[in-house]
Amino acid sequence: MKANFLSFLLSAMILVLLVAGASAQQNLHEFHGEAAGDRFGWALACAGDTDGDGIADWLFGSPFSDENGTSSGSARLVSGATGATRYTLHGAAALDLFGYSLACAGDVDGDGFSDLVIGAYGNDDFATEAGTAYVFSGIDGTLLHALSGGEAFENGGISVAGAGDVDGDGLDDVLVGAWGSDLAGPNAGAARVFSGADGSLLRLLLGEAELDLFGTAVCGLGDIDGDGRADLAVGAKWNDVNGSGAGSVEVFSGADGAPLFTLRGAASGDGFGSSVACAGDVDGDGVNDLIVGAPGADVSGTNAGSATVYSGVDGSSLFQFEGPAAGDGFGVSVAGAGDMDGDGRADVIVGAHGNDANGSGAGCARVFSGADGSLISEVLGDASGDRLGFSVDGGGDIDGDGRAEVLVSAYGCSAQTAMSGEARVWSFSEPTACPAPVSYCATNSHSGGSAANLGWTGSASVRANDLELLCTGAVPGQSVMFFYGAGQTEQPFGDGFLCVTGPIFRLSVGSADVSGGATHALDIGSPSDPAGQITLGSTWFFQVWYRDPGGPSGFNLTDALEATFCQ
């Protein structure tokens, strides 16, 4: 009993130290599935800048949504600047499972915007369950390529990734996993590199042996061998070289498909290679490294899981992280997180969808320092069955503080409706207050003898989206109109001054109450005109026009507000 008590005390002390050393968390955005069973966030990815605003956008998959038939699937692209949905793409037919995998494809069409690749491994267009990976223009969602190996039951699109420029034509290419391929033996698996320019097959990579499920996970690594071409990694979670289902990851030259090195799971059942991702330059040698998940590893308990960071130069192990407890499935997802702590090194994030800290299967995700492997922070699922951490990725620096954000999903979340799913964008920077809106410009008295003013409550935070404009002192019962614009001026107009210049956008029209008051709650995600979209760092000018039948011109205006919008 004494030994058990000491063990418990030590574990508790370690947990307290980990939590105390972790960074503060901020939930910047939260997104939900539309219907029960959608499992929104099953897959997610940082999509790169798809709209040219200089801020990375995000892509979320709901492979079990039913828009075009049972489990036809869908994928939603969201603006990183505002959190507003840019557009939603849908699978073509029932059981396509469109959105089961997805990634930033890079710029495949040369238009200067990031494009998208989305897998539908159940699609039958080329052959029964051959699967298809679709490449879409990031700017408007136009279909660019539909890619498949055409082999029945190979499940092409079970995994997808941007490959980088493999063939040296200046356009990015895409990598598609097909774990059911029989080309090298039953279910040995395959991965194909397709040209971003025209969709032609550039490389065919094959599993080592039958039942390897080579293509379980795929990723582009950038140029790790110094030949000027992007290189690749492919996971085979059932590879048996080190034991049944120990798993492996093979790293290939993009230039010619030659193997560079092979990484292997340590023991039977590890499932090493179930997830693999480019970690960025973790060790500061100027070459990208990679991180590999083994959710079945038993290092700290049965199926507790592990994740290991390897050097991109030679495949040597840099760090190994272990799941907190048995059954956690730590390593089910892995990703490069970007520089989370501002030390100039790339950090990593690992998901553990089976973690029970906040309830059975609530899940968790942990962010680790690339500099020394220490824990930066941990995010926990809210409730049992959330399965938070099933998919993770770096989110880019959306708030301009020099530190990256991360994307974490909980596909089992039932906060909206049963298993509709949820995804969140987390920042681990210390929160900073947005600057308060500032009044400017003159205001003249109306026929009632007083002047109307424009005030505010809430904040100029894009994340909070809680700015409310308050008009006071207008003519009771008369029409009022809230509007805003991109510039500041002060010139006579009607019986007052126009303080906003173009382009000008109308917000709402209503009537002043008995005291001459009116309000407008600004909804940043739903602009009246796309040209008037409020984004991080933008400055806008707000004013109210109101009717005054007793005045010389019949109308007047309030003073104005200048607001610069921040995180």
Q: Which domains, from first to last, does the chain contain?
A: 23-40+274-308+322-368+376-431 (no CATH), 42-47+72-82+94-273 (2.130.10.130), 438-564 (2.60.40.10)
512 beta partners: none
CA gap 308, 310 in Å, rounded: 6
Question: What torsion do the CA atoms of 353, 358, 361, 364 make, to the nearest 10 degrees?
Answer: 0
List, in sequence order, every beta strand (DSSP E) within 157-264: 159-164, 173-178, 190-194, 201-206, 214-222, 231-236, 248-252, 259-264
CB 508 within 8 A of CB 482: yes
pLDDT of residue 464: 80
* R_g of the chain, CA atoms, integer Å: 27
Q: What is the DSSP letter of 531?
A: G
pLDDT of residue 197: 98
Global pTM? 0.78
Tokens of 227: 């030949």
pLDDT of residue 431: 57
Of 516, 515, 520, which is closest to residue 547 (Cα–Cα)? 516
CA gap 345, 356 in Å, rounded: 31
CA torsion through residues 115, 402, 390, 73, sign? negative
132-154 in b/e form (b: 16+ CB < 10 A) is: bbbbbbbbebeebbebbbebeeb
Cα→Cα distances 83→397, 419, 529, Å = 14, 22, 16
CA gap 160, 175 in Å, rounded: 6
CA gap 200, 168 in Å, rounded: 14
Q: What is the DSSP letter of 421?
A: B
CB 409 within 8 A of CB 62: no
pLDDT of residue 28: 82
Tokens of 504: 């000008």
Specify burial of residue 258 (Cβ count, 10 A radius: 0-12, 13-18, 19+): exposed
Could you read off the pLDDT of 385-410 as tens digits, one per residue? 999 999 999 999 887 778 899 999 99
359 Cβ contact list (under 8 Å, min separation 6)? 381, 383, 384, 385, 386
Tokens 């008009």, residue located: 471
Phi first, then psi: give them for residue 8, nearest 5 degrees: -65, -45
CA gap 261, 180 in Å, rounded: 23
CA gap 508, 529 in Å, rounded: 12
**C-alpha angle 69-72-77 in degrees, rounded to nearest 5:** 125
CA gap 352, 508 in Å, rounded: 46
Q: Reduced to 3 states, what is the DSSP secondary structure of residue 4?
A: helix
List, in sequence order, every beta strand (DSSP E) within 287-446: 289-294, 306-310, 317-322, 333-338, 347-352, 364-368, 375-380, 388-396, 405-410, 422-427, 438-440
Asked whether the bond before 186 is cis by omega within 30 degrees of 0, the reply is: no
Q: Which helix (H) or strand (E) holds 9?
A: helix 2-21
Question: pLDDT below 70 — which residues of the chain?
Answer: 1-24, 429-432
pLDDT of residue 4: 39
CA torsion through residues 459, 461, 464, 468, sign? positive
CB 122 within 8 A of CB 129: yes
Phi first, then psi: give them for residue 178, nearest 5 degrees: -140, 80
